[in-house]
Amino acid sequence: MPFVVLPILWIAVAAGRRINALALGGIAAQSSALERSLFGAGAGLTLTAYGILALGVAGHLSPVPMIAWLALLAIVGGPENLAMGREITGIARWKPNIFSLLVALGFAAFAVIALFGCFTPPYPMEWDSMSYHLSDPAIHVEHHRIIPLPWESHSNFAFTMEMLYSIGLMAHSIPLAKLFHFSMAVIAAAGVWAIGRRTLDAETGALAALLLVSMPLVFWEAGTAYVDLAAIAYAVLGFLALTIAVKQDNPRWLALMAVMLGCMLSIKATSIFTIVAYSAAAALWLASRGVGDDSRWNVPAGLKGAVAIGAAALVIGSPWYIKSWVVTGNPVYPFAYGLFGGRHWDAANARLYTSNQVNFGVGHADPKTKMPIGVDLLMAPWNLTMFTMPGHIPPASSKPNPFYDIPTTMASLSPMLLAALFLPGFRRTRAPLVIRASLWLSLALLIPWAFSSQQERYLMPILPLLSLVSADCLLTFGREKMMAARALEALFGLSLAFSLFAGQQAISFEAPVALGHITRDAFLERNFPAYQAFEYLNAQPHGSGVVLYGEPLGLYCEQPYMWGEPTHGKVIPYDTLATPNDLRAYLLAHGFRYILVNFVGAPLQNGGPGSWSRKVYALTTSPPVAGSGSVQVFRL
């Protein structure tokens, strides 16, 4: 069942290629077969997801309508199916050399590591998958429609990838859902290779793609149902469209760039920074066309192009933000509360949410240490690279684990990226335009990151750019026989060795369950403290609702559930419920028969008299009916 993803991808690519060909006309033929397929995947997968969104809104989120939608897309693909078949047969004529074989071996190694993750049941390391990337669409699939979840603010994010995950959930196959994100990693890597091949040479493109997929953060996420790799895949496709426009001196390709960036916005709201940066880059190119002929910069043309690209991207990515506006009154809920407001939210929740976001990183002033922000930001590249390494001492202004919410070597980046920030300055020749553009775009994306939530995952759109820079420096230094070439090659080798070591650790943990040597239940009972409690709840009559406190990982709960803390969404009217018995009566009246409490995540006993937490704590004085350790289930 999981590999049903392959025909679905084929259908999406063919449909996307057909639509792009009709929109671009004859210029589509000026791209390679790989480029046409990549752009087809970008457009086709988003179209697939938007169709599932329409089914969900209409109350037809079930297998038969979904299959009908895929069949319609297959018809749309039409002649592209035959063209793709001919192109596939051409691969058999590939004649590899030693370099390409080694690169292919590297790709295969990191793909295998990621695939083990795809076939491992989500556990708390995959926090976002278990709390909303998979949990929310699972609720929608159960109801056969997309329903509001006012108790869970993340449910109002852009959910294009979650629509694709719904296909796997309808098929009762989480590995199928995860393989959609794995596919996005493949698209991102192939896109980087295509950029390098078109603007530099095939070797640089292949090496840059290998560097990208060899980063532990990348190949770990490729085995999850997260969304970050999907976002960077569309960023890569947008950059590819821009490079084609520049190489062919044809602004019509910028329309495809706008489409890819709009698809990116439909996945992650922080993509707005990438849209601004890439639109500015396109504006500079449009304004500078013809300057070499002693003509002046055409600033109005540049501004007009940037506005058109940005507006088109916003329109394409808008369905999720319109949905959020309709449901909550805020298009970017729960952000920008001071500007838009929002239902089931208030100013106190907004302040708490913002403080949790800016709690990451090292760039925000610490009132205790008074460390200068500038110094910490200058050292951020070093700390981003080294913060998962043993013995690394974080800056005084940061938290012990500043850039990622779970301490793990899987959050590591490659030291090659750190070198990429400085090595171009030592070139004997001027760096190619694509390398200079990559560096400037990376800087442009670093700036908003520095002044917002400094999470490492929010920086992932710059990883393909710096991978191109690193690969170009590595090969150029070798060709120019520079003294630094050997040191750089050794650094690259050590980076790959460390990544393989991290991957081996992941495989040793995941292989027993992925290969079926231990059961899914045994794996989760060992690695997810709340799993036994959920097993008990799932054995109760269906409809025995449960309110979760301190345990947002509800993926394995088969009963109706919701998060109980008012900090996630003000749904339960704690202020109007004077006593614990009033709270009990309210929950029972709304179909909730149990509460599940993780006392580590929700130390209810610490609340003040009359607080919501003390009212809930009073409901836990009777003996629990299930659970173990800090996780307990209480019958109401």
DSSP string, 528-574: -TTHHHHHHHHTSPTT-EEEEES----TT--S-EEE--TTT---S-G
**415, pLDDT greater than 90:** no
- How many CA atoms within 13 Å lie on the side-chain side of 393? 1
pLDDT greater at residue 60 or residue 25: 60
| CA 342-348-349 angle, 5° bins | 55
Q: What is the 3-state secondary structure (H, E, C) of 101-169?
A: HHHHHHHHHHHHHHHHHHCCCCCHHHHHHHHHHCHHHHHHHHHCCCCCCCCCHHHHCCCHHHHHHHHHH
Q: How confident is the model at residue 458 (pLDDT cuts 50, 70, 90)?
A: confident
d(CA 122, CA 223): 10
Q: What is the mean pLDDT of the chain?
A: 89
* Cα(136)–Cα(151) distance, integer angstroms: 11
- Residue 375 CB partners (closer than 8 Å, separation 6+): none
pLDDT tier, 3 (very low <50, low <70, confident <90, very high otherwise): confident
- What confidence category does residue 158 fall into, taking pLDDT thresholds of 50, 70 and 90? very high
pLDDT at 365 over 60: no
Single-letter amino acid, residue 586 = Y
Do the strands 631-635 and 626-628 form a parallel or antiparallel pair, or are they unpaired? antiparallel
**Ramachandran angles phi, psi of 595, nearest 5°:** -125, 140
* DSSP designation for 264: H
- Which pLDDT band holds residue 398 (cuts at 50, 70, 90)? low
DSSP label at 519? Answer: -
Q: If pLDDT is split at 50, 70 and 90, which confidence band does 303 have?
A: very high
| Contact in structure between 61 and 145 (CB atoms under 8 Å) | yes
CA–CA–CA angle 225, 231, 235 (5° rounding) = 155
Print the SS3 string covering 186-228: HHHHHHHHHHHHHHCCHHHHHHHHHHHHCCHHHHHHCCCCCCH
**Per mean pLDDT, which range of 89-93, 134-138, 553-557 is the poorest?**
89-93
Helical axes 531-538 vs 520-527, angle rounded to 10°: 130
- 191-226 pLDDT per residue, tens: 999 999 999 999 999 999 999 999 999 999 999 999
Instruction: List the single range of 227-241, 538-552, 598-612 with lowest mean pLDDT.
Output: 598-612
Amino acid at 98: I
Q: How confident is the model at residue 30 (pLDDT cuts 50, 70, 90)?
A: confident
Domain ranges of the chain: 2-82+104-325, 358-372+380-514, 529-635
When mean pLDDT is compared across 297-306, 386-395, 618-627, the lowest value belongs to: 386-395
3-class DSSP state of 296: coil
pLDDT category, 372, cuts 50, 70, 90?
Answer: very low
Q: What is the mean pLDDT of residues 353-371?
A: 64
Phi, psi dihedral angles at 363 (to 5 degrees): -90, -5
Asked whether the predicted pLDDT for residue 257 surpasses 70, the reply is yes
Average pLDDT rounded to a whole number, residues 590-597: 96
Range of lowest pLDDT (187-201, 321-335, 407-421, 615-629): 407-421
CA–CA distance, 91 with 367 (Å, rounded to integer):
60
- pLDDT at position 86: 87
**Whether this model's pTM surpasses 0.75:** yes
Q: Answer yes or no: is pLDDT of 130 > 80.
A: yes
Which is higher by pLDDT, 290 or 604? 604
Q: Would you state the torsion angle of the CA atoms of residues 213, 214, 216, 222, taken in this order, to the nearest 10 degrees? A: 30
Looking at 14-28, 270-284, 529-543, which range is the least confident one?
14-28
Using pLDDT thresholds of 50, 70 and 90, give the confidence band for residue 565: very high
Element (DSSP H or E) covering residue 627? strand 626-628
Identify the band that residue 397 occupies on the pLDDT scale cut at 50, 70 and 90.
low
Question: In angstroms, rounded to a whole number, what is the distance separating the alpha carbons of residues 48 and 77?
Answer: 12
Would you tell me the crossing angle of helices 63-77 and 33-58 to the nearest 10 degrees? 150
Q: Exposed e or buried b for every residue in 175-185, given b needs 16+ CB within 10 A?
A: bbbbbbbbbbb
Contacts of residue 95, Cβ cutoff 8 Å, sequence gap at least 6: none
Of residues 380 and 474, the one with the higher pLDDT is 474
pLDDT of 522 above 90? yes
Q: Minimum mean pLDDT among 64-68, 100-104, 269-273, 514-518: which range?
A: 100-104
Strand (E) or helix (H) holding 510: helix 484-514
Query: Between 388 and 127, where is the model more confident?
Result: 127
Mean pLDDT of 261-272: 96
| 393-397, 532-536, 604-608: the lowest-pLDDT one | 393-397
Residue 370: the pLDDT is 47
Over range 456-475, report the average pLDDT: 90
